Structure 1
Amino acid sequence: MIILCLLLLLSHAAESLYMGTTLDDCYAVARSFNNTCTQAPKAPAPWTSTFKSITQSCPDTRTFQLKSCQIVVMLCVSCSQNATTGQVRMRVQTNGLPRGHCYGGQCPAQRKIDFEVDFNKNVSMEKAITFRSNNQFDDKACSNMSLKVVPTWTNLKVYEDGHQMDDIAGIAINGGIIKAPIVKYMMDPYFPTFTLGRNFTQSPTFDTCLGFVDEQSTYGYIMLSPCISNSSMIAQNRSCGKDPFCSQDIKNHSLYFQNRQERVLGIAKDGHIIQSPFFYEGSFIRCTNLDQCGGYFMEQQTYVYTWSNIFPYSMTCFGPGSQPSVYTARCSENTCSGRYLMEVGLILMALLQFIILI
């Protein structure tokens, strides 16, 4: 009986997530975001007092004093269509503060981000990025500037904070920033490897949502956050090191609140969807399904990225990349060929959830 219930839990499925390129498709994706503005998804919001926001009260857990900070969340994702060319565009406006949870440490600062890009543009393997050696792949995957340059065909237009978007992979549906897999230390901040002789004495301090505040007081994620699908962290977030489950097994913690559904989790800086690490029937998207940039072509031949708990977590480059991924990043112990297996962790998490239920 227990095995049957576990199989039912693991076999949860959803309808296939269709991602086209029409204006209605763009509207559907924009509605996946926890917008605070009233104009979404059909118009952007002006950066004035009329930009509707949500205020959250969050404790500053760095001190033992009863301190709190008022977090003002602003998020507006909208779509438009060029009357002449028919090209659909998505505009993303956020102050970088995620809606729905607090922070396990320093209260972050607002960061005005506003960009517009061609939505879900069709790409072909003719434009695929090819790495000729593992060293060449390392130079890209293990650089904190791996996502600085966006392909010109995306027609990216930055309205605000262009100089601070170099390390951004995309924006999550809660308005939080999804960062490039490598911060300035040139190592996977979760599972660093020391084989390259690099100094890793200043790793970021992650909270239980697996986010961190950088030296510019900007909050962001790298690994898939368990708080994207769970709103109970609004006042409970704390340092990952102070949470036994998070500190002992951060990879399984990443998956704890994730539904086995193919769903939108964000939008990349190149206009392509960032989705959950599951196919529509609930099976896990394996490393062999992904190219060297961290994306893949869906059945409708639309290109998407996955956000997961395996390096590079979201993407190493703006794809498509050569298929499949054949090189391993030497700056991480948490790669597809590493000793950490996501599928095993997922089964253990499902079993734990089942035990809790009974």
Structure 2
Amino acid sequence: MINLPNVQSTASNSLSDCQTAASSFRTTINYTASNITGTTGMNATCSASGIVCPGQTINGVCIWQRKLSAVCRNASGVIKIRIQTNGLPPRCASVPMGSFAELNVDFEVNFNPDVSINSLNSNLNTVSSLSQTLCTLTSASTAPSASGFVNYGTTGLTTATGVSVDGVMIFTPDSTNNIDPFFPPAGGTAETVDSCLAHCQAAGIYHYHIASGCQVNPPTGNITSCAANSSCISNIATYSISSFLSYQTKTVIGIAKDGHVIYGPYLSSGTQVTTGFDVCNGMFYDSIGNYAYFATSTYPYLVGCFGPGNYPLFGPTCTTNGVSSYNMSSYASSFWNSSTTTSMSVRISLDTGLILVFISAFISLY
């Protein structure tokens, strides 16, 4: 391999940048609490008929309090964001069986840390390594050390990749069987979700595996299951993207455990993100060097691993809705090119480890 200089780009990670992202969260308090579950939240109500209630049922009405805080601070020049949530949504949820628990999620992380395409956090250069990483429920249990992640809460976060702006957890893109929960390979069984594309796991943690317009625009009144919604059940990935038709711009939908922002499926230009992302579903999306995760209609949908990652010419084996290859965004390509200091134009195929060198020089033959 050729050792390229590690040229770091400078991301938008000032205190005001952090506060702008934090303002997208539907917070119930504007400070960091000693214990988020002990704060006074905001009531949400639903008909208790046919659903598991995460709060109290009074006269046939399920009532609970959602609690959420997103606070930024300057820690000796490093901007950090602290997220606290009890995990309960600001809207109805269709949880027909099992448990639906209040959580105590509380973590702090460096906000939008500088990263470089020449220094990858995830370099998955074989089908086996790609599939093993993306197709493992606990693959995102540990955030990169440079993110400064600290967990203060009592709720375990081994299967979580981040928190949505509505306070609901975002999980890795895998079912308990370590396959795509919506488009499993042959022999797998798809999991059920409600029409906001969320559900509870065995311990009662309500969570997303895929983006939903409910994150930014919570519906009122009771909601159905996905199975009872013809558009949802016909193709959940298409339904996911269609739920953002009123948000066709770069829209914050969450924060990942590595401190990078999670956006909806559109760029500021109104273009849907269908390419340019790496194996982790992250993308360098501007000339400054900002890196973020974007909602896509293909697996892993939100955050598959912690990036930056590489761009192999193959996809994972645990889904029938993955991409067959990955491509750099134009910005990623420009950052990579800028690291070449010789007179050669070098392109590295990170997925196979092969290096193709094209010498752009005139050679005199005698």
Amino acid aligned to 2:318: C
CA shift, 1:242, in A, is: 1.7
Distance 1:138 1:92, change over 3 A: same
Counterpart in 1 of 2:131?
Answer: 138
Distance 1:97 1:49, change over 3 A: closer
Mapped partners of 2:285, 2:226: distance in 1? 34
Q: Are residue 241 (structure 1) and residue 227 (structure 2) matched?
A: yes
**2:248 pairs with 238, 260, 266, which one?**
260
Distance 1:230 1:49, change over 3 A: closer
Distance 1:61 1:223, change over 3 A: farther
Counterpart in 1 of 2:152?
Answer: 159
CA shift, 1:297, in A, is: 1.1
**Structure 2: gaps (5+ residues):** 1-9, 326-366
**2:304 pairs with 316, 319, 331, which one?**
316
**2:184 pairs with 163, 169, 192, which one?**
192
Distance 1:159 1:122, change over 3 A: same
Aligned residues: 306
* TM-score (normalised: structure 2): 0.78
Distance 1:28 1:94, change over 3 A: same
Amino acid aligned to 2:284: F
CA shift, 1:153, in A, is: 1.2
Amino acid aligned to 1:208: S
Counterpart in 1 of 2:321?
Answer: 334
CA shift, 1:59, in A, is: 3.1
Q: Are residue 294 (structure 1) and residue 281 (structure 2) matched?
A: yes
Alignment partner of 1:57: what SS?
A: strand
CA shift, 1:283, in A, is: 0.8
Amino acid aligned to 1:166: T
Distance 1:268 1:48, change over 3 A: closer
Alignment partner of 1:58: what SS?
A: strand
Mapped partners of 2:257, 2:203: distance in 1? 20
* TM-score (normalised: structure 1): 0.80
Distance 1:155 1:229, change over 3 A: closer
Mapped partners of 2:210, 2:51: distance in 1? 26
Counterpart in 2 of 1:121?
Answer: 113
Q: Are residue 149 (structure 1) and residue 149 (structure 2) matched?
A: no
Please say if residues 92 and 221 of structure 2, whose CA atoms lie closer than 8 Å, have aligned partners that are also in contact: yes
Q: Are residue 35 (structure 1) and residue 22 (structure 2) matched?
A: no
* Residues 338-357 of structure 1: pairs in structure 2 closer than 5 A: none
CA shift, 1:134, in A, is: 0.7
Higher mean displacement: 235-244 or 139-148: 235-244
* Residues 42-53 of structure 1: pairs in structure 2 closer than 5 A: 43-47=31-35, 51-53=39-41
Mapped partners of 2:138, 2:299: distance in 1? 16
Alignment partner of 1:283: what SS?
A: coil
Please say if residues 105 and 238 of structure 1, whose CA atoms lie closer than 8 Å, have aligned partners that are also in contact: no
Mapped partners of 2:22, 2:319: distance in 1? 33
Pairwise CA RMSD of aligned residues?
2.4
CA shift, 1:183, in A, is: 2.2
Mapped partners of 1:207, 1:278: distance in 2? 23
Amino acid aligned to 2:267: F
Mapped partners of 1:159, 1:179: distance in 2? 18
CA shift, 1:327, in A, is: 2.4
Counterpart in 2 of 1:168?
Answer: 160
Mapped partners of 1:251, 1:49: distance in 2? 33
Distance 1:101 1:256, change over 3 A: farther
Counterpart in 2 of 1:182?
Answer: 174
Amino acid aligned to 2:228: K
Alignment partner of 1:160: what SS?
A: coil
Please say if residues 11 and 289 of structure 2, whose CA atoms lie closer than 8 Å, have aligned partners that are also in contact: no
Mapped partners of 1:298, 1:272: distance in 2? 12
CA shift, 1:228, in A, is: 1.9
Counterpart in 1 of 2:213?
Answer: 226
Mapped partners of 2:298, 2:23: distance in 1? 28
Q: Deviations over 1:328-354 (max 9, x none)?
A: 11111111249xxxxxxxxxxxxxxxx
Alignment partner of 2:132: what SS?
A: helix
Distance 1:63 1:152, change over 3 A: closer
Alignment partner of 2:152: what SS?
A: strand
Alignment partner of 1:127: what SS?
A: coil
Considering Cα pairs closer than 8 Å and 6+ residues apart, tell me whether 1 or 2 has the greater RCO.
1
CA shift, 1:165, in A, is: 0.1
Alignment partner of 2:103: what SS?
A: coil
CA shift, 1:61, in A, is: 5.0
| Structure whose residues are more often helix by fraction | 1
Please say if residues 47 and 222 of structure 2, whose CA atoms lie closer than 8 Å, have aligned partners that are also in contact: no
Amino acid aligned to 1:77: A
